[in-house]
Amino acid sequence: MIDKEVIVIGAGLAGCEAAWQIANSGVPVKLIEMRPLHSTPAHHTNEFGELVCSNSFGALSPDRAAGLLQEELRTFNSLIINTADSFAVPAGGALAVDRSQFSNSLTQILSSHPLIEIKRIEQLDLPDKETITILSSGPLTSDKLATKIKKFTGIDSCHFFDAASPIIYGDTIDREIVFKASRYDKGDPAYLNCPMNENAYIKFWNELIEGDQASIKDFEKESANFFEACLPIEEIARRGVDTMRYGPLKSIGLWNPKWGDLFDRENRLRKRPHAIVQLRKEDLEGKLLNMVGFQTNLKWSEQKRIFRMIPGLEKAEFVRFGVMHRNTFLESPKLLLPTLQFLKRETLFAAGQITGTEGYAAAAAGGLLAGINASLLAKNKSPVTFPRESMIGSLMNFISNKNEIMSKQKKYKFQPMPPSFGLVPELTNRIKDKKLRYKAYQERSLEVLKGFKKVLDICFEKDHLLAEIN
C-alpha cells in the first residue's frame, strides 16, 4: 500500500471528484471541508457537492459542448456525473438532478471509502511544499485561506458576482394557468410554464427594474462585475423592455394544447403568449420547483411580491429565495500548468471554479484531472495532460499557461469560461454545417480519449492496485 497521502481542500464538486479518483487509485486522501464549522453566503447544507445555483448540468446530448464534457467524464468513471445520472430528474434535453439526494449520496459514498479521511475543519493555510495538495476550495474560499493564496501567488484574486434562483413549493402554483411542455417538444414535457400576456409582462418588467436590491459587501463600492452566463433577472430586464423575452422568458417553441392546433399558423401567432416563465423540477415528484433563469439580488420581500405577479404564481410559497454572492477565481493562465499544477510548486494543484472554469461538469473535470495527476505524483510518476481535441483538454488549456489569447494579448482580461466548442482545435476537414461540425467534434474527442484512457490504465496498473486493496 502506498504511504503517501494527498490533501484535498474543499468538498465541492471538484474536491469530491478529486478525492474519489485519488482513493480509487489506491492513494490515501484527507478531504477537508470547513462546513458546518464555517459556512458561506450561498450554502444551505453541510453536505458534500452542494449545488448552490441551478440543479442543471446543462445539455445532455454529446453533440453539445456541455453534453460532450459529461460524456468524457463518464469515460473516466466520474463520481460526479455517475451520481448525477443516478438522481436525474426530467429536464427536457438537459441533465438536472434532485440536488438533495445528489449531495447526500456524494457525502455517503466519500465518507464510507476506506482510503478517504474526512476532516471537518477550516483550512487556514496552504500545506507545506512536501505535501501533495489539491486546492479545490471553490469561488467562496474563506477569507483567511484566500489571503494566504494571494500571498503565495503574488496576484490579487479576480472576482465576479454570481446569483442563484428561487425555489418554490410545487403544490402552491395554479395548475389551471401553468402548463407542462418542453421547448419544441424535445424529450418529455419536463418544464412547467407560466404564460404572460403583454399587459402582465409590462407591469412585471416595471416592478422588476424598480425593485429594492439586497446590499452586498463591497458591491456598491465597485462597478458591478456580473458573470454574463448567470445574470440577475433584474439586470437582464434593465438592458431593455424586450431583453427577457429573447432570453429566459422567450415563448417561442412552447405550446399548450388548450390553445388549439399548433399547426394552425394564424391561431399560433394569435395565441402565443408574450412571454413565458419556466419552472424546472428540483425532485422527481415535483414538490420543489426552480425558477429557470431567475437568478436575482432583489430583497426577499421584493422577490415574494414581484414574482407573485407572474400568472400561476400568485400564491406561490418560497422554499428558498434567490441570493447573490461574490465568486473569487485565480488568474490561472499566469499560475497553472495544463496539468493543473502551480508553476511555482509542482506538489500543489488547483481544481474547480476557483481556476476559472464555469459550470458543474467543468468543476468535476478539473477535479478529475487534478485527482489523476496527484495520484500519479504520489506514485512518483509524471502528471498527464488531456488531449486538446477533448473538451476536458481544451478547458484545461484555456485556464493554463498555454492560453494563447492570454499570452498574445497584453490587455486580455481573463474571465471564467464554460465548456464551448470555440475552445477546441479546428477539424482537419472543415465542416460548414454547425450540427455536423459539432457531431464531428464529439466523435473525434471520444475516439482520442479511448487511446488516452488505455495509456492511463497502464500507468496506474489498475489490476495490481485493486488486488492489493482487496
Query: Which region holds residue 461: left if phi is over 0, alpha if psi is between -120 and 50, else beta?
Result: left
Task: pLDDT band for 466, please (50, 70, 90 cuts).
Answer: very low
> What is the average per-residue pLDDT within 7-29?
96
53 against 244, higher pLDDT: 244
| Of 146, 241, 154, nearest in space to 201 by CA | 241
Using a pLDDT cut of 90, give the percent of the chain over it: 60
403 against 340, higher pLDDT: 340
| Identity of the highest mean pLDDT range in 72-76, 155-159, 222-226, 427-431 | 72-76
Residue 9 bridge partners (DSSP): 32, 135
Helices 13-24, 99-111: crossing angle, 10 deg rounding:
30
Alpha helices, H only, 88-197: 99-111, 143-153
Which has the higher per-residue pLDDT, 228 or 313? 313
The reported pLDDT for the residue numbered 465 is 42
* pLDDT range class, residue 2, cuts 50, 70, 90: very low
pLDDT of residue 327: 75
**Could you tell me the pLDDT band of residue 1, with boundaries at 50, 70 and 90?**
very low
pLDDT of residue 132 exceeding 90? yes
Most trustworthy range by pLDDT among 1-5, 30-34, 58-62, 434-438? 30-34
- Place 286 in a pLDDT band, splitting at 50, 70 and 90: confident
Rounded Cα gap, residues 112 and 128, in angstroms: 28
Rounded to whole angstroms, the Cα distance separating 305 from 203 reads 13
pLDDT at 149 over 50: yes
| SS3 state of residue 196 | strand
CA proximity to 359, closest of 48, 34, 70, 11: 70
The yes-or-no verdict on residue 375 having pLDDT over 90 is yes
pTM over 0.85, yes/no: no
- Go through the domains of the chain in sequence order and give each one's CATH number: 6-157+330-469 (3.50.50.60), 164-326 (2.40.30.260)
Q: Which amino acid is at 43?
A: H
Average pLDDT of span 129-141: 92
Q: What is the pLDDT of residues 65-85, one digit of tens each?
A: 999 999 999 999 999 999 999
Instruction: Give yes or no for a cis peptide into 36 (omega within 30° of 0).
Output: yes
